[in-house]
């Protein structure tokens, strides 16, 4: 026998709600949620099975549809974002694909910020047009009038990243939210870089927020996952699309990511503190050009960043005057930091976007979003910053010719 569930008597803060949003406890009264490694779930009788499939009864059916671990991840992330509900997917790109294809049809149009992740750019430019969904780009820092002028009679969605990948441009959410509502458009924000710890787009009028949970949500470079959170009416259609098409997150990955959310606030505070310190040290070194960090006074949108974010985040960029060749020499000279195709890890990661994450873009498209041949992106980790700074400065000194 188990006693009645103990429930708080007052509303919870988002951090507390995220930590305490767990799968229903089983007969063993476990304190940490178990991993539900099962493809399907059984029913007591034919009527229960019928009612569940009909939607009259809410409970798991099949892990392609949903799973208690996936539900826990979705609920926790929705609580942090201030969203009504959410749905978890296998990857961040699956979340973006579902948010678009689950809601739009042939003939619809998207207005997107020009500087987006390379794979997102590929979807918008190459993949969605095959489905009859077209896009137009606007510079992330453009005035609101430019966004308004890009909207056509067939526009149904505005899609932005902020801060953007990899240029760290900042989009003015407080202006785009009202514009989207005024025009009756679905406003989607990729919040992967900031996370709900530093920025809550729904507070500024976003209808949906997408995440690559592979990055800061996990925080240790272990598993992949994605999520869409936002308004229940939109999530119903997205869930129906995912249920049919199957971009399902594995129960194990969902379990890892849900547990990781319990420490996200602590990690993001440290990431932000370390990145701002490295940006300052690099500026003082005089070895690099065009250092960009959202909370730096030199960032062209730093006022907007400070208005909509509580911290600058864990990423910064700078340019090497020697272009591609110096960029390669710099990466080869790194000793402590990692060279890998990820970000948001406990370990500091250094990448050269022009030859890696955005290599498939044309040179014209790269330059249009500020990806110069010598651009370096650093995802600052949780190490002692003296060690990271020294590794970066030593590599810079060794790469200069």
CATH of residue 95's domain is 3.40.640.10
Please report which residue ranges of 44-152 form alpha helices under DSSP H: 46-54, 68-81, 92-101, 118-122, 144-150
| Residue 281 in tokens | 């040290």
Mean pLDDT of 267-291: 96
Tell whether 381 and 312 lie within a shared domain: yes
| Residue 44 in tokens | 């007591």
Residue 300's CATH number: 3.90.1150.10
Q: Is the pLDDT of residue 194 over 70?
A: yes
Percent of the chain with pLDDT over 90: 81
Number of domains, the chain: 2
Would you state the pLDDT for residue 345? 97
Query: Of 210, 234, 262, at which residue does a domain stop?
Result: 262
In a domain, 25, yes or no: no
Mean pLDDT of 3-27: 72
Q: What is the DSSP letter of 126?
A: I
Q: Is 221 exposed, middle or buried (0-12, 13-18, 19+ CB in 10 A)?
A: middle
Q: What is the dihedral of CA 392, 395, 397, 401, to 10 degrees?
A: -140
Tell whether 44 and 138 lie within a shared domain: yes
Distance CA 142, CA 301 (A): 10
In a domain, 79, yes or no: yes
Tell whether 375 and 389 lie within a shared domain: yes
In a domain, 275, yes or no: yes
Q: Is the pLDDT of residue 146 over 60?
A: yes
In a domain, 237, yes or no: yes
Q: What are phi and psi of 205, to 5 degrees?
A: 110, 5
The total of other beta-carbon atoms located within 10 Å of residue 94's CB is 24
Tell whether 69 and 149 lie within a shared domain: yes
What kind and span of H or E run contains 245? helix 232-245
Q: What is the mean pLDDT of the chain?
A: 93
Tell whether 290 and 167 lie within a shared domain: no
Q: Is the pLDDT of residue 67 over 50?
A: yes
Tell whether 251 and 299 lie within a shared domain: no
Would you state the pLDDT for residue 285? 93
- pLDDT tens digit sequence for 219-275: 999 999 999 999 999 999 999 999 999 999 999 999 999 999 999 999 999 999 999
**Distance set, CA 43 to CA 47, 52, 62, 83, 195 (Å):** 9, 9, 12, 31, 38
Structural domain harbouring 310: 264-399
Residue 161 pairs with which residues in a beta bridge?
Answer: 190
Distance CA 305, CA 311 (A): 8
Q: Is the pLDDT of residue 199 over 90?
A: yes
Would you state the pLDDT for residue 1? 32
Distance CA 23, CA 352 (A): 41
CA angle in degrees (0–180, nearest 5) for 34-35-37: 140
Would you state the pLDDT for residue 8? 66
In a domain, 11, yes or no: no
Tell whether 222 and 299 lie within a shared domain: no
Query: Of 223, 243, 262, at which residue does a domain stop?
Result: 262
Among residues 242, 254, 200, which one has the least CA distance to residue 83? 200
Among residues 168, 215, 210, 165, which one has the least CA distance to residue 189? 210
Instruction: Give the contacts of 342 (CB within 8 A, at least 6 positions apart).
Output: 214, 215, 221, 349, 379
Would you state the pLDDT for residue 7? 60
Mean pLDDT of 176-189: 98
The total of other beta-carbon atoms located within 10 Å of residue 33's CB is 19
- pLDDT tens digit sequence for 307-346: 999 999 999 999 998 888 888 899 999 999 999 989 999 9
What kind and span of H or E run contains 375? strand 375-379
In a domain, 4, yes or no: no
Cis status of the peptide bond prior to 64, with omega within 30 of 0: no
- pLDDT tens digit sequence for 121-141: 999 999 999 999 999 999 999
Would you state the pLDDT for residue 2? 38
Tell whether 268 and 133 lie within a shared domain: no
Distance CA 156, CA 185 (A): 5
- pLDDT tens digit sequence for 336-389: 999 998 999 999 999 988 877 777 777 777 777 778 888 999 999 999 999 999
Tell whether 215 and 297 lie within a shared domain: no
Query: Of 243, 262, 281, at which residue does a domain stop?
Result: 262
Tell whether 257 and 338 lie within a shared domain: no
Tell whether 149 and 277 lie within a shared domain: no
Q: What is the pTM of this model?
A: 0.93
Would you state the pLDDT for residue 3? 38
The total of other beta-carbon atoms located within 10 Å of residue 201's CB is 30
Q: Is the pLDDT of residue 97 over 70?
A: yes
Would you state the pLDDT for residue 379? 98
Tell whether 80 and 157 lie within a shared domain: yes
């Amino acid at each position: 026998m188990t006693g009645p569930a103990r429930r708080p008597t007052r509303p919870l803060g988002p951090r507390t709600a995220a930590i305490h949003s767990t799968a229903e406890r089983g007969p063993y009264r476990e304190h940490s949620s178990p991993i539900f490694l099962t493809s399907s779930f059984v029913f007591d009788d034919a009527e229960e099975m019928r009612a569940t499939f009909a939607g009259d009864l809410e409970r798991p059916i099949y892990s392609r549809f949903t799973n208690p671990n996936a539900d826990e991840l979705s609920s926790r992330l929705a609580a942090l974002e201030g969203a009504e509900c959410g749905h978890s997917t296998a990857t961040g790109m699956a979340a973006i694909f579902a948010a678009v294809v689950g809601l739009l049809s042939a003939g619809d149009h998207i207005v997107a910020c020009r500087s987006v992740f390379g794979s997102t750019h590929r979807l918008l430019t190459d993949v969605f047009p095959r489905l009859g969904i077209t896009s137009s780009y606007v510079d992330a820092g453009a005035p609101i009038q430019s966004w308004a002028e890009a909207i056509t009679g067939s526009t149904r969605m505005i899609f932005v990243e902020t801060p953007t990948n990899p240029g760290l441009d900042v989009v003015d959410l407080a202006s785009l939210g009202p514009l989207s509502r005024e025009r009756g458009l679905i406003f989607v924000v990729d919040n992967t870089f900031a996370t709900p710890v530093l920025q809550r787009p729904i507070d500024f009028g976003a209808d949906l927020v997408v995440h690559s949970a592979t990055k800061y949500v996990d925080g240790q470079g272990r598993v992949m996952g994605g999520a869409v959170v936002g308004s229940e009416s939109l999530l119903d259609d997205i869930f129906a699309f995912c249920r049919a098409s199957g971009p399902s997150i594995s129960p194990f990955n969902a379990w890892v990511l849900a547990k990781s959310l319990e420490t996200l606030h602590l990690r993001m505070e440290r990431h932000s503190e370390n990145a701002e310190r490295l940006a300052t040290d690099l500026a003082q070194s005089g070895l690099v050009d065009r250092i960009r960090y959202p909370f730096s006074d030199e960032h062209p949108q730093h006022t907007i960043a400070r208005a909509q974010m509580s911290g600058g985040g864990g990423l910064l960029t700078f340019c090497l005057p020697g272009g591609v060749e110096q960029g390669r020499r710099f990466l080869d000279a790194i000793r402590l930091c990692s060279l890998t195709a990820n970000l948001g890890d406990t370990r500091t990661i250094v990448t050269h976007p022009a030859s890696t994450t955005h290599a498939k873009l044309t040179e014209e498209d790269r330059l249009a979003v500020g990806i110069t041949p010598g651009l370096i992106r650093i995802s600052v980790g949780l190490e002692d910053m003296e060690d990271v700074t020294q590794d970066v400065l030593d590599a810079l000194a060794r790469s200069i010719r």
